[in-house]
């Protein structure tokens, strides 16, 4: 599956400059605005079968991500302080984050298709022990993102077929 769009990588986070790069893609039989709505409601992510995660929006309305939103994202073992740096509604969102000495960038693209939309998510990490941990962490992150996409598909709003 290919998408005509690409991630707008800041040079610092570009895969060529990162020790770790993960890419996942899927199709969802829902309109882009529906998928977007599910994705930007970050505090709901843990309810998607991700019990060992939590998201807290620090500024803004506390409900949705927007450009400039600062949020804390805790996974099983990591705690990232993130800032939304790219935000084009129904099309793309990206945030950068920091966990100790590790810098992370996570971007999402949503592209309408005849059967709903295509979702691309990519993430890079650099710094800290990433040069060493990339050998086992990249597989874990790829799996984590795959599960995230699967859970996104299961959201009631995203299960509905695109209306014609």
Task: Indicate the pLDDT class of residue 135, thresholds 50, 70 and 90.
Answer: low
pLDDT of 51: 60
What residues make up the domain containing 118?
Answer: 31-156
- pLDDT tens-digit map of 7-58: 999 999 999 999 889 999 999 999 999 999 989 988 888 777 656 778 889 9
In a domain, residue 44? The reply is yes
In a domain, residue 19? The reply is no
pLDDT of 55: 87
In a domain, residue 8? The reply is no
CA nearest 81: which of 104, 63, 64?
104
Q: Residue 77's domain is classified under what CATH number? A: 3.30.530.20
Q: What is the secondary structure of 7-42 as a DSSP string?
A: ----GGGSGGG-SEEEEEEEEESS-HHHHHHHHH-G
Which residue would you say has higher pLDDT here, 52 or 151? 151
In a domain, residue 6? The reply is no
In a domain, residue 12? The reply is no
**pTM (2 d.p.):** 0.86
In a domain, residue 120? The reply is yes
Residue 160 CB partners (closer than 8 Å, separation 6+): 29, 30, 34
> What share of the chain has pLDDT > 70, as a percent?
87
């Amino acid at each position: 599956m290919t998408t005509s769009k690409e991630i707008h990588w800041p040079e610092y986070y570009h895969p060529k400059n990162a020790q770790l790069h993960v890419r996942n893609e899927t199709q969802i039989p829902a309109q882009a605005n529906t998928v977007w709505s599910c994705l930007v409601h970050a505090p709901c992510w843990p309810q998607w079968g991700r019990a060992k995660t939590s998201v807290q929006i620090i500024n803004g309305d506390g409900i949705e991500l927007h450009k400039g939103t600062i949020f804390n994202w805790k996974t099983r073992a990591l705690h990232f302080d993130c800032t939304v740096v790219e935000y084009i509604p129904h099309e793309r969102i990206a945030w950068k984050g920091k966990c100790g000495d590790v810098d992370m960038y996570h971007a999402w693209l949503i592209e309408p298709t005849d059967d709903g939309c295509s979702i691309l998510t990519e993430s890079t990490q650099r710094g800290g022990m990433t040069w060493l941990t990339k050998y086992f962490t990249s597989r874990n992150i790829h799996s984590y993102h795959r599960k995230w996409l699967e859970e996104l598909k299961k959201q009631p709003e995203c299960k509905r077929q695109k209306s014609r």
